[in-house]
């Protein structure tokens, strides 16, 4: 009898909480969640020397955040620093850091803690792409993809998450990719590294949830190709449904997701529907859709930026 009572109580508690969470989600779908104030928050952005990282830095500068900018390119990073100051940031700190090197990440992280303070918003944005077919991609380039696109997340979390837990306050932002949701022809190493980053960020979120560390937020971002030069030459077969994204638009969506403490952000919205279809459609049908949208050959015209220099 006691077992049945316990089971019934557990079931009704589950149903009640589930109903409440669904109602809450429906309300926030109609009425946006209140945006949190990030003025004074210490925001660390990796890959801040150009592209998406630079634009994120400028956006947080206008929001009054304290900026910590990491990039392997010292000149580009210092330029972002100056631009952030011109955009209104009163405290900006630029550090040259190769995020693919574990010991360097730890060394620079210690420097940040001493000189700036505890990072409260960590944005893992740094990334590279080879754009080569799997068998044509040298081993060292594949290893570099994992070092930058995935392993750097491990080292930055290890460096900054403990203070977030101690302060019961923090936000972990993973810039993954639509290539972290589905395999793409010509991007095997990139997809693998982005799948890994997605899975890692999601797993750490589950850890913090289970350990009742309610002050730690997570946002995982999966955009389609963005016009930052990283995917120059890549195309889409259906620009109206699956466009190559404008950088400023992508940044506005990312910052909005962070301010609303949204867990997942897929850009454009079509990606949500595509992931739903992927879960149950026959393989041949899914491939036909991918071919229609131009995804199967999206990387065929990829232009390696290093070869242009």
Q: What is the pLDDT of residues 70-96, one digit of tens each?
A: 999 999 999 999 999 999 998 999 999
**Confidence check: pLDDT of 210 > 90:** yes
**Confidence check: pLDDT of 174 > 50:** yes
**Confidence check: pLDDT of 20 > 90:** no
Per the CB < 8 A criterion, the answer to whether 125 and 52 are in contact is yes
The separation between the first and the last C-alpha atoms of the chain, rounded to the nearest angstrom, is 76
Of 106, 190, 249, 272, which is the active-site residue? Answer: 190
Residue range 249-283, pLDDT digits in tens: 999 999 999 999 999 999 999 999 999 999 999 99
At 8 the pLDDT is: 73
pTM for the full predicted model: 0.92
Beta bridge partners of 95: 70
Confidence of residue 13 (pLDDT cuts 50, 70, 90): confident
% pLDDT > 90, the chain: 86
Per the CB < 8 A criterion, the answer to whether 84 and 92 are in contact is yes
What average pLDDT does this structure show over 34-58? Answer: 96
Task: Round the average pLDDT of the chain to a whole number and report it.
Answer: 93
What average pLDDT does this structure show over 168-181? Answer: 97
At 6 the pLDDT is: 74
Instruction: Kindly list the structural domains of the chain, giving each domain's residue range(s) and its CATH number in brackets, ordered by start.
Output: 36-308 (3.40.50.720)
Per the CB < 8 A criterion, the answer to whether 271 and 213 are in contact is no
Q: Tell which residue, 267, 263, 205, 196, has the closest CA to residue 28.
A: 263
Confidence of residue 219 (pLDDT cuts 50, 70, 90): very high
Give the tokens for residue 123: 């944005």
What average pLDDT does this structure show over 42-55? Answer: 98
**Confidence check: pLDDT of 302 > 80:** yes
**Confidence check: pLDDT of 49 > 90:** yes
- Between residues 288 and 21, which one has the greater pLDDT? 288
CA pair distance 150, 155, nearest whole angstrom: 9
Residue 113 neighbours by CB under 8 Å, 6+ apart: 119, 163
Q: Is 190 a catalytic residue?
A: yes
């Amino acid at each position: 009898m006691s077992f049945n009572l316990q089971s019934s109580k557990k079931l009704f508690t589950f149903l009640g909480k589930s109903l409440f969470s669904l109602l809450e989600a429906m309300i926030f779908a109609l009425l946006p969640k209140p945006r949190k104030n990030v003025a004074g928050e210490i925001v660390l952005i990796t890959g801040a020397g150009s592209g998406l990282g630079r634009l994120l830095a400028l956006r947080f500068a206008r929001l009054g955040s304290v900026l910590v900018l990491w990039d392997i390119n010292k000149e580009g990073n210092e330029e972002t620093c100056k631009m952030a100051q011109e955009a209104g940031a009163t405290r900006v700190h630029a550090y040259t850091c190769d995020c693919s090197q574990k010991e360097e990440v730890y060394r620079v992280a210690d420097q940040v803690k001493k000189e700036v303070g505890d990072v409260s918003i960590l944005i893992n944005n740094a990334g590279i792409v080879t754009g080569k077919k799997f068998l044509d991609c040298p081993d060292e380039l594949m290893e570099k993809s994992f070092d930058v696109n995935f392993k750097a997340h491990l080292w930055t979390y290890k460096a900054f998450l403990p203070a977030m837990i101690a302060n019961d306050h923090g936000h972990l932002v993973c810039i993954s990719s639509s290539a972290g949701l589905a395999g793409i022809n010509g991007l095997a190493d990139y997809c693998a590294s982005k799948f890994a980053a997605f899975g890692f960020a999601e797993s750490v979120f589950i850890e913090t949830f289970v350990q009742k560390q309610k002050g730690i937020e997570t946002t995982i971002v999966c955009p389609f190709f963005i016009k930052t030069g990283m995917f120059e030459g890549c195309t889409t077969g259906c620009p109206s449904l699956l466009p190559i994204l404008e950088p400023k638009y992508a940044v506005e969506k990312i910052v909005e997701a962070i301010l609303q403490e949204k867990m997942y952000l897929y850009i454009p919205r079509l990606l949500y529907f595509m992931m739903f279809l992927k879960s149950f459609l026959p393989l041949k049908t899914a491939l036909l859709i991918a071919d229609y949208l131009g995804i199967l050959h999206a990387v065929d015209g990829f232009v390696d930026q290093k070869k242009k220099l």
